[in-house]
Amino acid sequence: MAKSRDKTDTEALKKRNDELAHELATLRRKLASEEKELVQVLITLDEKAQDVLRPHRDFDLTLSAALSQAFSAAKNVLRGAIPYITPGGYPDFSSLIGLALDSPARIDLLFRYPEGDSSVELMERLVRLYAEELGAGKVRLRYLGAPGRSGLHAKVVICDDTFAIVSSANWTGYSLSSNAEAGIGTHSKRAINMLSAWFDFTYANALSWETVKESLTDNE
């Protein structure tokens, strides 16, 4: 009788363990699915490398596609931090900004303090190109740093406090198609709130273009 009872208890315990294992596996799948919705892995590699990786692919979008989605989807405020733009990358930068200009969103851009003639010339060109939008408050520009201290290295985009991208890539065709770059896109409310707070604080303590021009003149 005791042996029979022990056997019954063992079978019941095994059954319960199997049920718990099944519940745990289901929970893990659910969490993995939710995590995938909150966080996206974004990469940029050359075409050959992407062909090699594609069969083993666990990334979600290219950085280029993710940036295009963020710039075109903004409805309220698009925040962007980018250290600098280059003469060769200017058309790609303008194309991204153009996506947001067609939306109702305000565009807040944070650059590092421009140093060197080419950097200053590009910023002057930017101010001329978007003079109407700057005047209307559609586009706002700020510059972080001071002469000899550029101050900004982050590459961040925040779209309407609903999606954010943090990556290693500058917003140029070369960076987004040829360089080996990586980043994270997230819908996590906590992460976006922290990034937005960082951006707003940094932006508020950065310089206007008028102040930058005055300091450049003073240092000539």
Half-sphere exposure in the Cβ direction for 41 (13 Å, CA):
5
pLDDT at residue 52 in the model: 63
Q: Which two tokens mark 102?
A: 């067609």
DSSP string, the chain: -HHHHHHHHHHHHHHHHHHHHHHHHHHHHHHHHHHHHHEEEEEE--HHHHHHHGGG----EEHHHHHHHHHHH-SSEEEEE-S---TTTHHHHHHHHHHHHTSS-EEEEEEEPP-SHHHHHHHHHHHHHTHHHHHHTSEEEEEE-BTTB------EEEETTTEEEEES--SSHHHHHTS-EEEEEE--HHHHHHHHHHHHHHHHTSBPHHHHHHHHHHT-
Q: Which of 3.30.1360.180, 3.40.720.10, 3.30.870.10, 3.10.129.10 would CATH assign to domain 39-218? A: 3.30.870.10
User: What are the extents of the domains in the chain?
Assistant: 39-218
How confident is the prediction along the chain (220 residues), in pLDDT tens digits per residue?
A: 555 555 666 777 677 767 767 776 676 666 555 555 567 767 666 666 666 665 555 555 678 888 888 999 999 999 999 988 888 788 888 888 999 998 899 999 999 998 877 888 889 998 999 999 999 999 999 999 887 776 889 999 999 999 999 998 888 777 777 778 888 899 888 899 999 999 999 999 999 999 998 887 766 5
Report the C-alpha gap between 124 and 89 in whole angstroms. Answer: 16
Q: What's the confidence (pLDDT) of residue 33?
A: 56
- How distant is the alpha carbon of residue 155 from its chain centre? 7
pLDDT of residue 1: 53
Residues 94-110: tens digit of each pLDDT: 888 999 998 899 999 99
Who contacts 76 (Cβ-Cβ below 8 Å, separation ≥6)?
104, 105, 106, 160, 161
- The answer to whether the Cα torsion of 192, 193, 195, 196 is positive or negative is positive
Asked if residues 166 and 195 have their Cβ atoms less than 8 Å apart, the reply is yes
Q: Give the whole-angstrom CA distance, residue 117 versus residue 97.
A: 23
pLDDT at 15: 76
* SS3 annotation, 182-200: EEEEECCHHHHHHHHHHHH
pLDDT in the model for residue 156: 96
d(CA 211, CA 77): 24
Output the pTM of the full model. 0.76
- Encoded tokens for 210: 């008028």
What type of residue is 62? T
